């Protein structure tokens, strides 16, 4: 009932093994590419954050201090 494995592989099994090998290699390349893109995005975000913080600091230094504005009290006229 047990069959002996043949020494030769069928063309279909060779093709399947090759497709699987290529898929593994492509997956590894894709994961490496995704990792590089993530690094580039984080670097760009840090650069932009630095620019924004510098711009906000410059605006804070150059703008006049803002005084809190309260409601003006108006005088009411008394009618008799």
User: Rounded distance, CA 35 to CA 29, Å?
Assistant: 10
User: Rounded distance, CA 80 to CA 76, Å?
Assistant: 13
> What is the structure's pLDDT at 2?
55
Number of alpha carbons in the 13 Å side-chain half-sphere of residue 52: 6
**67 belongs to a structural domain:** no
CA distances from 57 to 26, 43, 52, 53, 67 (A): 46, 21, 9, 6, 19
**73 belongs to a structural domain:** no
**Residue range 26-68, pLDDT digits in tens:** 999 999 999 999 999 999 999 999 999 999 999 999 986 666 6
> Where does the pLDDT of residue 11 fall: very low under 50, low under 70, confident under 90, or very high at 90 and above?
very high
Q: How many domains is the chain partitioned into structurally?
A: 1
| 38: its two tokens | 């993530």
Q: Give the residue numbers spanning the domain of 30.
A: 11-62
Does pTM top 0.85 for this prediction?
A: no
Q: Which residues contact 52 (CB under 8 A, 6 or more apart)?
A: none
């Amino acid at each position: 009932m047990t069959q002996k494995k043949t020494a030769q592989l069928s063309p279909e099994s060779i093709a399947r093994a090759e497709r699987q090998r290529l898929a593994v290699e492509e997956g590894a390349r894709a994961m490496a590419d995704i990792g590089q893109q993530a690094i580039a995005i984080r670097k760009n975000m840090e650069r932009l954050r630095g620019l924004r913080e510098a711009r906000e600091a410059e605006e804070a230094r150059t703008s006049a201090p803002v005084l809190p504005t309260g409601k003006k009290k108006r005088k009411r006229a008394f009618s008799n």
